[in-house]
Amino acid sequence: MSDLSLLAEFDSFEVSDKYKAERDARFFKWIKVLIGALAAILVLELAIYKIVNPSLNVPKIVFSGNKNYTDDNLKEVISDLYNQNFFAFDTEGAASRLSSVSGIESVNIEKVFPDKIRISVVERESAAMIFLNEEGRTVPIQIDKNGVLFNNINSEIAEDGSIPIISGIPVEHLESGMRLPAKYRVLIDQIAKIQSLPQKYFAAVSEICVVPKASGNYELMLIPVNSRIRVLTGRSLNEESLQYMMVVLDVVNSIEPNVTEIDLRYDSVSYRTAVNKGVGGENLD
C-alpha cells in the first residue's frame, strides 16, 4: 500500500471522529436543555402548588367531634370567614365565633397545607336539664357538669332517663356562657357522679325539685316516675340516698296506698296521706 493511500485513510478516520464528537456534543446539549425545561416546569408546579392555589382557592373546611351540630350548622357560624383563602383564613376569629356557641366547650383549628382547614370541636355533655320560658315558649336548656347552661339543635329529653329534669333553680333566661349560681353547682356535681355509675338511677326519677329555705340554702324534693308521691330529702344526693328512697317507697306503699309525700330528712321516715292529711312514720335505721 502506498503512502498516499495511508494518508487518505487517516484523513477519513479523522473526519469521522470529528463528526462523532460534534454529534455527541449536540446530544448532550439537548439533554441539558431538556433537563433544564423539566426543572423549570417542576419549579413552576411547586410555585402553583405552594403559592398560587392556596392564594386563589377557598380551602376545604373539615369538621370533627361534632355530634349535635351538623357541618352546615357550624359553617353558618363562620360564614363571613368561609370565602377567605388558605393564607388569609382567620383561625383565631373562627375559633372565637365557634366558642360563642353555647353547646361547644372548646375548639381547635389546624391548617393543613395546601388547601385544608381542620376544625375539631368538643361539645358540652348534658348532666341535667331545666325548662325556661323564651318568647312565650317553654324550651329545654341543658346544664353540663361544670354548671354551664347551653342549648343545641338536639335539646331533647334523653329517652333512657339518664338526664334528670331540675326545677326550682332561679334562672329566667339563657345568656351565652352563663353558669348556675355557685351553691347549685354542688347538686350538678352530685348528679354527674351518679351518672358515671353503670346503673341508670335517674330513670326512676321524673323530676328533681329545688326547694329554697329561709336561710338562703335549699333542700331537694324528688318526684319518682309514674307516681304522685313527692319525696323530701336534704341536699345530699348520691347512690345510697337514691337506693334508700326506692326501698322506702316500696315499704310505705305496701303500708299506706294513699301516701302523697314522704319525708326522708332527719334520719327518719314520715309520710303524708291524701285522705286525712295525717302524718305517720317510723325509723328505718
Residue 282: is its pLDDT beyond 70?
no
Contacts of 139 (CB under 8 A, 6+ apart): 131, 132, 133, 151, 155
**What's the sign of the alpha-carbon dihedral 155, 159, 164, 169?**
positive
Three cell numbers written together for 252 = 310505705
pLDDT band at 6 (very low <50, low <70, confident <90, very high): very low
pLDDT band at 192 (very low <50, low <70, confident <90, very high): very high
> What's the pLDDT tens digit per position in 227-250?
888 999 988 899 999 999 999 988
Reported CATH class of domain 60-123: alpha beta
Q: Answer for the pair 203, 225: CB distance below 8 angstroms, yes or no.
A: yes
Q: 37's torsion region: left (phi>0), alpha (psi -120 to 50) or beta?
A: alpha
Residue 81: is its pLDDT beyond 50?
yes
> What's the pLDDT tens digit per position in 56-80?
677 889 999 998 899 999 999 998 8
What pLDDT, on the 0 to 100 scale, is given for residue 7?
45
Q: Where are the beta strands (DSSP E) in 2-123?
A: 60-64, 104-112, 116-123
Q: How does the average pLDDT of the chain come out, rounded?
A: 81
Q: Answer for the pair 150, 177: CB distance below 8 angstroms, yes or no.
A: no
Q: Answer for the pair 120, 64: CB distance below 8 angstroms, yes or no.
A: yes
Q: How is residue 58 annotated by DSSP?
A: P
What pLDDT, on the 0 to 100 scale, is given for residue 172?
77
Residue 27: is its pLDDT beyond 70?
no
What pLDDT, on the 0 to 100 scale, is given for residue 283?
45
Place of cell 389546624: 110
Kindly tell me the number of DSSP H helices and DSSP E strands found in the chain.
6, 13
pLDDT band at 143 (very low <50, low <70, confident <90, very high): very high
Q: Among 132-136, 208-212, 222-226, 274-278, whose mean pLDDT is lowest?
A: 274-278
Residues 165 and 152: their CA atoms lie apart, in Å, by 17
Most confident of 155-159, 236-240, 274-278: 236-240
Q: Which residues of 236-254 are buried (b: 16+ CB within 10 A; e: fewer)?
A: ebeeebbebbeebbeebee
Q: Among 20-34, 159-173, 199-213, 220-234, whose mean pLDDT is lowest?
A: 20-34
Please compute, for residue 202, the number of CA atoms within 13 A of its CA located in the half-sphere on the CB side. 25
Three cell numbers written together for 56 = 386563589
Beta-bridge partners for 122: 106
Phi/psi for 177 (5° steps) reads 75, 10
Place of cell 347551653: 150
